[in-house]
Amino acid sequence: MRKLDFIVMLALGTGILSLTSAGQDARPAEPKPTAPAATEKDAKGARAYSGMYTFLNEGEFVQVTVEDEGHVTGFISRFGDGASDKGAFLNQYFKSGKLDGSKLSFTTEIIHGVSFDFLGSVERGEGKNPGDEAYFVLKGTLTENSSDVNKKVTSHSQDVVFKLFPQQATPTVVDRK
């Protein structure tokens, strides 16, 4: 094979050289949609909200993981305060969670008759740089739902602000079994 034939075949194969007859209409290439790039950028920005945040008491935290399409997973690690679990460390996984823009909501599973609902938003906090303490905060209403032995549910709501822990302090997320 001659060198020139090889170069022409290579150019045709890679699309560098295009042979069209002068009489044919050549359609311009369709413009590529830009929406997926914006969606990908938004998803990456929302994933920045993932991390470990303070919870109600010293030593307690909430782990938030933002996944694709605003799906949120995570858990609350807290000390039990009931008669049977006083002082025990409990992990309450999210039963459901959603991030829509900056609006965040999640509901935990029931552990020892207690579950939590959060309705609020993710906002910029006082941290100066990504990875700093309180770079993001979860601000909203936390509702604690407690059921007694007679299945009577009592709800207590409070306004909360949970601060993002510094990045180096964030533990590795443990897969739920």
Residue 102 lies in a domain: yes
Q: What value does the mean pLDDT take over residues 164-175? A: 64
Residue 7 lies in a domain: no
The answer to whether residue 24 scores a pLDDT higher than 50 is no
User: Vertex 58, ends 57 and 59: CA angle to 5°?
Assistant: 110
Q: How many percent of the chain have pLDDT more than 90?
A: 54
What phi, psi does 54 have (nearest 5°)? -60, 160
* Number of separate domains in the chain: 1
| Cβ–Cβ under 8 Å, residues 135 and 146 | no
| Cβ–Cβ under 8 Å, residues 42 and 32 | no
Q: Which helix (H) or strand (E) holds 97?
A: strand 89-100
144-169 pLDDT, tens per residue?
999 888 889 999 999 999 999 998 55
**pLDDT class of 176 with cuts at 50, 70, 90:** low
Q: What value does the mean pLDDT take over residues 96-115? A: 95
**pLDDT class of 18 with cuts at 50, 70, 90:** very low
Residue 43 confidence (pLDDT): 57
The answer to whether residue 27 scores a pLDDT higher than 70 is no
What CATH number corresponds to the domain at position 49? 2.40.128.30
Burial class (CB in 10 A: 0-12, 13-18, 19+), 118: buried
Q: 3-class SS at 113?
A: coil
Residue-number span of the structural domain to which 56 is assigned: 38-168
87-103 pLDDT, tens per residue?
788 999 999 999 999 99
**What is the Cα–Cα distance from 177 to 125, expressed in whole angstroms?**
33
| Cβ–Cβ under 8 Å, residues 108 and 133 | no
| Residue pointed to by tokens 């509702």 | 143
What phi, psi does 41 have (nearest 5°)? -65, -45
Higher pLDDT among residues 172 and 106, named by residue: 106
Residue 6 confidence (pLDDT): 42
38-71 pLDDT, tens per residue?
444 555 677 889 999 999 999 999 999 999 889 9
Q: Which helix (H) or strand (E) holds 53?
A: strand 51-54
Higher pLDDT among residues 110 and 148, named by residue: 110
Closest CA to 59 of 86, 87, 80, 78: 78
Q: What value does the mean pLDDT take over residues 1-11? A: 44
Q: Which residues pair with 77 in a beta bridge?
A: 61, 91
